[in-house]
Amino acid sequence: MLHEHSLLVDGGKTVAIIADSDLPVDAPVCRLDGGIISPGFIETQANGGGGYLVNAHCDAEGLAHILAAHRTYGTVAMLPTFICDTQDNYLRGIASIAEASRHVHGILGGHFEGPFIHPEKHGTHDPLLIRAPDDKDFACYEKHAADLQHSIISLAPERVPAGTVRSIRELGIRVNAAHTMATKADMQRAFAEGLGGVTHLYNAMPPLVGREPSVIGSAAELRLYCGIIADGVHVDPFSLAAACKLIGKDRLILVTDSMHTIGTDIREFTLAGRGARLRRKRPSGQRTRLACRRARHPAAMRAKRHPLHAPRGGRRARHGYHQPRALP
């Protein structure tokens, strides 16, 4: 992080970053009074925004609306996240997001979280929609592969046939482990086929223990990129600090996993057939598991910095700089 520097803007475009001492004497100055300028955020896991859920509004107009709601908080590009659904809806979702990536600036592709996940770790996903991939899925991936080159498919490595990860990677689509009971051996097999990351580290996966590193320990040893929800709810601040040390700050990616409530006054909603309401910006409801919250990236940035006792320049803007490296 640079201190006592200014961003020089001419005609609406950034032309230089210069020391304050080198500012032209006649240049109009906008002071931030301690604020921070950082690159725009790239969101790789968001379920909706502006009152729209991705699964229900995954056409170009709907995704543009969702991105606009996130842009208020500094997000300039995203992978809208499509969660477990019927196969017909899933295939339509892939096609719609692929098309939107061609026409909506800032929609880079999609994040398809499920339905190839472990029933014991379904979280807020409807367990009745969990299944194995089949030929229809791969035909759809192949048909739209050219528009899915920055996309992610999150799956449970132990729940898909051998060769599945390799087949998806050969199409240029990234594969993450998520909602999984994978062992070290499962993770190693998937890594050999091209597994590149882990979705929402700690959540919906086994804990790290001495005799079985499972997903978390394997992610560290295999140097995988790991998304993490740094909201202080999904992940305790001490666990966040441990992840920074274990995974490495350059491979840890802040995500919000946010809901359609972003940018709205919505307080109650239904998710996977369960009623939920927002309390202090976190969803809670009848028999719900921990749901995607109403998180925002600036808040996640603060959560990542302050509980870790990090200096102001130590861990700032990791989201904006390192997110693109995690995409194909």
Q: Which residues pair with 175 in a beta bridge?
A: 153
Residues pairing with 233 in the sheet? none
Active site residues: 257
Q: How far is CA 65 from the centre of its chain?
A: 18
Helix axes 135-144, 87-103, angle to 10 degrees: 10
Contact between 123 and 92 (Cβ < 8 Å): no
Q: How many Cβ atoms are within 10 Å of 283's Cβ, its own excluded?
A: 23
Calpha distance 52→162 (Å, rounded): 36
**What are residue 67's phi and psi, to 5 degrees?**
-60, -40
**75-82 and 282-285 strand pairing:** unpaired
Tokens read off for 17: 């970053």
Grouping H, G, I as helix, E, B as strand and the rest as coil, residue 194 is: coil
Q: Which SS3 state, helix, strand or coil, does residue 8 take? A: strand
| Among candidate residues 177, 168, 109, the one with its CA nearest the CA of residue 141 | 168
Pairing label, strands 152-155, 174-177: parallel
Which parts of the chain fold into alpha helices (H)?
60-71, 87-103, 135-144, 164-170, 184-193, 214-221, 237-247, 297-305, 318-322
| Cβ atoms of 271 and 288 closer than 8 Å | yes
